[in-house]
Amino acid sequence: MTGRPRARELGVPFDGVPGPLNALTDVAGVEVGYVTLVEGEGALRTGHGPVRTGVTAILPRGRAGIDVPCAAGYFSLNGNGEMTGTAWLEETGSLTLPVLLSNTHAIGPCHRGVIDWVVEHRPEVAAGWLLPVVAETWDGYLNDINGSHVRPEHAGRAIDAAAGGPVAEGAVGGGTGMTCYSFKGGCGTASRRVPYGPDSYTVGAFVQANFGARAELTVAGVPVGRRLAEDNRQESSDWLAPPGSGSVIAVVATDAPLLPGQCTALARRVPLGLARTGTAGSHFSGDLFLAFSTANPGALTSTFPTTAPEADAYETLRFIPWGRLDAFYTAVVRAVEEAVVNALVAGETMIGRDGHRSPGLPHDALSALLDGHRAR
């Protein structure tokens, strides 16, 4: 953990009831692991640094359950980004294997790294084909993104590091070199409880936040970004992404029993949570979202048939009726909003390649703006 407060500790008001950790890992069985790579300073020397990047691994059912499918769905708000494995996910409605997040040019090493890890640790799973989900956002403002610093073994180390419990936020893992609303961005998470008759379910969200222009930033309904513009200095470069671009990846998990199409519906609600933080969605921002349900273990298998055709088998999915999903949609929106603000609050000023600077969100100034708005 960074030791930095979270948004609620600064008095930022949010709607809804979070789980005990207010994190993606409030969904039982979900694990998160990081490898963070920070090295060097000064002028960019491609292949040498400075390095400000890393890898995040999200395991829907932990290491022991990497081959047990989850119902899953995917949604792209804007496609200037990459999330591998989505063609098969859309075909089958199921997700297996760890989900990895890193920088734009590290998709290949992470993809290979998942395969290498499965071959080593679960060779029986690797006997068929492996189509991992790997997603990215661009950290080239701070990081030597063309330097091949993320290697397949880093993906394996992130998977090995995955655990339940509290989740570190800010400049860790794949979020290490990210910038959000022209402040230091990175990883953020939050969760919401959803009562359902005699039962109670959890919806958790995890974001790799690297999007938005400073003037857009809105916290708890207050347009604070335009009041925090004095610390908006960025160093010159041969090429930098336009303000507001950069991308965001969101992963939503729930233990509620859902159909694959219902998981897609949850993923489609992620942009509503992002919009609460101010973004209108930039053309140059890749905004890609994944949602999965850990219920119904053992269903949605995609294995070769082992019995004669006349001995047909069946699978059964228990699911919440479509007409009862509104509370889960609301939970996604609220958890995503808070996850983004948590990523910003966790951010500390970082200096990267060529002296490029991504400033930490000033806590005192944010609290003063929110207090002033409430006092009106």
What's the pLDDT at 311?
60
CA distance linking residue 8 with residue 223, whole number of Å: 18
Does residue 143 surpass a pLDDT of 70? yes
What's the pLDDT at 3?
73
Q: Angle at CA 210, nearest 5°, toward 156 and 327?
A: 90
Both tokens of residue 158? 């992130």
pLDDT digit string, tens, across residues 76-115: 999 999 999 999 999 999 999 999 999 999 999 999 999 9
Torsion of CA 138, 168, 355, 230, to 10 degrees: 90
pLDDT digit string, tens, across residues 183-201: 999 999 999 999 999 999 9
CA distance linking residue 236 with residue 59, whole number of Å: 39
What's the pLDDT at 95?
97
DSSP E strand stretches across the chain = 31-39, 51-59, 70-78, 94-95, 99-103, 133-137, 179-180, 183-184, 186-196, 199-209, 248-254, 287-293, 350-351, 357-358
Whether 285 is catalytic: yes
Per annotation, catalytic residue among 26, 139, 255, 287: 287
Cα 267 from chain centroid (whole Å): 12
CB contact set of 241 (below 8 Å; sequence gap of 6+): 138, 140, 141, 284
What's the pLDDT at 63?
96
Alpha helices in the chain (DSSP H): 86-92, 107-121, 152-161, 260-276, 326-346, 363-375
- Domain layout of the chain by residue ranges: 7-235+242-299+315-375
What residue has token string 């960025």? 234
CA distances from 55 to 98, 137, 219, 251 (A): 12, 11, 28, 15
Per annotation, catalytic residue among 182, 247, 293, 358: 247
Whether 148 is catalytic: no
Neighbouring-strand partners of residue 191: 204
Q: Does residue 50 have a cis bond before it (omega within 30 degrees)?
A: yes
Does residue 245 surpass a pLDDT of 90? no
Q: Give me the half-sphere count of Cα atoms (radius 13 Å) on the Cβ side of residue 143.
A: 29
The 31-39 sheet, strands edge to edge: 31-39, 51-59, 99-103, 133-137
CB contact set of 364 (below 8 Å; sequence gap of 6+): none
Does residue 240 surpass a pLDDT of 90? no
CB contact set of 329 (below 8 Å; sequence gap of 6+): 265, 266, 269
CATH fold, domain 7-235+242-299+315-375, is: L-amino peptidase D-ALA esterase/amidase (3.60.70)
Type of residue found at 274: L
Does residue 375 surpass a pLDDT of 90? no
Q: Give the residue-averaged pLDDT of 241-266.
A: 92
CA distances from 157 to 55, 114, 161, 181 (A): 9, 10, 6, 30
> Which of 51, 234, 56 has the alpha carbon at shortest distance from 146?
51
Cα 151 from chain centroid (whole Å): 20
pLDDT digit string, tens, across residues 126-137: 888 899 999 999
Per annotation, catalytic residue among 285, 293, 354, 358: 285
Burial class (CB in 10 A: 0-12, 13-18, 19+), 27: buried
